[in-house]
């Protein structure tokens, strides 16, 4: 029993990766599932899809490795955060689709709560802002809008959870209703200073506290996955939200270390140690990880659209068939054109927090085509990352100069995108040998708890760089480009 199974349940697919005792990938499997868009700005998932693709990819990965459940010491789970589910305590049947983190249906409610003066209290407790992004207002929407849901919740018949909690419930056949501190910290309901659910916020949102899961360390016993799933009971020993799992997988264990993950969205986390830093730049204060009962905090900047802008080129505009086509297209772009894309398809995240914004493109000419669109799409991710890092430098006064950025996620495989990122930041960008850092983080948490993997120090020593990108443009050009981006954002927010 020297293998670790990592479940990586994401926004557009579920993946399972089997790691050996040396933390090397043995086999993996992935299953996509459909996105549901009931109205403009609404995004949902069918909970049955989340479960079936998770279970199916796990079985496939184990089979591809030629292993059985008896070979697996523990399971680690990482997941799309903030996505909200409510299900029946007895049957496990969801009362509504999962409301995805990208969903903006509670924007009016958040605005009302702000106007009533509640944001200061909520931010002080949770480190978050009143934004539809987080789970709390999504949960309130389900209770208020699904027939009978509130009455059933008040009777103790319904449970709430983020995706990790739902998967744990399904894996353990309803024996365990739990989450970890990092996922709890993203719900808008968790006091990150006390490490407990906030009765005050639950009362504000009219949420029965009996619905909420038990909160555990990231490395802890979450019960056993039932034997009929994988032929043998397997303990679930590690859980972390996807961005925190990537922070762990990048071994960002020291204050001042910084990582950025490029998946559907982009999320940059800066380790700030054992004390939460209150942001003056509308960044989020959150829990990076909790191990041995000790919380480590982070500043986080969230970009809603990163890899999703490439998906839009593929599925919306249909100018590419595969994501990898964007790099050669961008290389063909006319250097005389300066097209800027602000991909605010579901609003602008940090540091702007404008859920009402929508995307815009500037600088089009008669000759603008697929190559210019591909270039602008990739550049938009670099520009948005710089927005986050500039805000972090305002908040994190202990930082000396520009920190080295560790990157991961699908888009980090693009040399072109990573070189532009280094250029626009004016700082080095390090890409690790293991790009599956989110799954690796979940695997290490579980493996460390199970006694298969080394401790934090040993794991940090194993981190290895694959390539470093250094800035290749001058400061004048960097500031000119970034100034044009800032102007485009201002124009987008005024539309």
Q: Which residues contact 282 (CB under 8 A, 6 or more apart)?
A: 129, 350, 351, 352, 353, 391
257 near 248, Cβ under 8 Å? Answer: no
**164 preceded by a cis bond (ω within 30 of 0):** no
* 243 has binding-site annotation: yes
* 15 has binding-site annotation: yes
d(C-alpha 389, C-alpha 380), whole Å: 14
* 78 has binding-site annotation: no
* 297 has binding-site annotation: no
351: three-class secondary structure by DSSP: coil
Element (H, E) at 205: helix 199-205
Count helices and strands in the chain by DSSP H and E runs: 17, 23
d(C-alpha 330, C-alpha 346), whole Å: 24
33 near 50, Cβ under 8 Å? Answer: yes
* 385 has binding-site annotation: no
d(C-alpha 52, C-alpha 229), whole Å: 11
Extended beta strands in 193-293, E state:
196-197, 214-216, 224-225, 234-241, 258-262, 266-273, 284-291
Strands 98-99 and 266-273, by their bridges, are unpaired
Residue 359 structure tokens = 């995307």
* 307 has binding-site annotation: yes
Extended beta strands in 170-242, E state:
178-180, 190-191, 196-197, 214-216, 224-225, 234-241
* 441 has binding-site annotation: no
d(C-alpha 37, C-alpha 7), whole Å: 25
What is residue 353's DSSP assignment? -
* 92 has binding-site annotation: no
* 82 has binding-site annotation: yes
* 264 has binding-site annotation: yes
* 482 has binding-site annotation: no
Numbered residues of the known binding site for ATP: 11-13, 264, 307, 311, 410
Numbered residues of the known binding site for ADP: 11, 15, 264, 307, 410
Numbered residues of the known binding site: 11-13, 15, 81-82, 133, 242-243, 264, 307, 311, 410
Numbered residues of the known binding site for sn-glycerol 3-phosphate: 11, 81-82, 133, 242
Numbered residues of the known binding site for glycerol: 81-82, 133, 242-243
């Amino acid at each position: 029993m020297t293998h670790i199974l990592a479940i990586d349940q994401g926004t557009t697919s579920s993946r399972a990766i089997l790691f050996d005792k040396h933390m090397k990938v043995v086999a993996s499997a992935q299953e996509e599932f459909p996105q549901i868009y009931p109205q403009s700005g609404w995004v949902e998932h069918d909970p049955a899809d989340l479960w079936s693709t998770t279970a199916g990819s796990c079985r496939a990965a184990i089979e591809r490795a030629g292993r059985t459940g008896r070979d697996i010491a523990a399971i680690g789970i990482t997941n799309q955060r903030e996505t909200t589910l409510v299900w029946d305590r007895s049957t496990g049947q969801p009362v509504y689709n999962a409301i995805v983190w990208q969903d903006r249906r509670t924007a009016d409610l958040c605005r009302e709560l702000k106007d009533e003066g509640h944001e200061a209290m909520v931010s002080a407790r949770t480190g978050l802002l009143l934004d539809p992004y987080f789970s709390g207002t999504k949960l309130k929407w389900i209770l208020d809008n699904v027939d009978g849901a509130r009455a059933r919740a008040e009777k103790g018949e319904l449970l709430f959870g983020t995706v990790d909690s739902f998967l744990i419930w399904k894996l353990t056949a309803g024996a365990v209703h739990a989450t970890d501190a990092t996922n709890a910290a993203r719900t808008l309901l968790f006091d990150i200073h006390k490490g407990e659910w906030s009765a005050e916020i639950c009362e504000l949102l009219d949420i029965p506290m009996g619905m909420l899961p038990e909160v555990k360390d990231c490395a802890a016993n979450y019960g056993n996955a039932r034997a009929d799933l994988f032929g043998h009971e397997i303990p679930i020993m590690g859980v972390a939200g996807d961005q925190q799992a990537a922070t762990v997988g990048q071994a960002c264990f020291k204050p001042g270390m910084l990582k950025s993950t490029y998946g559907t969205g982009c999320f940059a986390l800066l380790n700030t140690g054992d004390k939460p830093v209150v942001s003056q730049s509308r960044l989020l204060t959150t829990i990076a990880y909790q191990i041995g009962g000790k919380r480590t905090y982070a500043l986080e900047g969230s970009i809603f659209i990163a890899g999703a802008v490439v998906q839009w080129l593929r599925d919306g505009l249909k100018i590419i068939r595969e994501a990898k086509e964007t790099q050669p297209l961008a290389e063909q772009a006319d250097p005389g054109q300066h097209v800027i894309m602000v991909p605010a398809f579901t609003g602008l995240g940090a540091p702007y927090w404008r859920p009402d914004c929508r995307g815009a493109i500037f600088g089009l000419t008669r000759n603008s085509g697929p190559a210019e669109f591909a270039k602008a799409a990739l550049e938009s991710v670099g520009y948005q990352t710089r927005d986050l890092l500039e805000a972090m430098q305002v908040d994190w006064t202990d930082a000396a100069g520009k920190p080295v950025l560790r990157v991961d996620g699908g888009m980090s495989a693009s040399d072109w995108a990573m070189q532009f990122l280094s250029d626009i930041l004016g700082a080095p960008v390090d890409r690790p040998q293991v790009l599956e850092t989110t799954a690796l983080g979940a695997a290490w948490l579980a493996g460390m708890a199970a006694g298969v993997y080394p401790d934090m120090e040993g794991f940090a020593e194993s981190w290895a760089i694959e390539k470093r990108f250094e800035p290749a443009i001058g400061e004048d050009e960097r500031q000119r480009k970034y100034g044009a981006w800032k102007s485009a954002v201002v124009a987008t927010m005024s539309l």
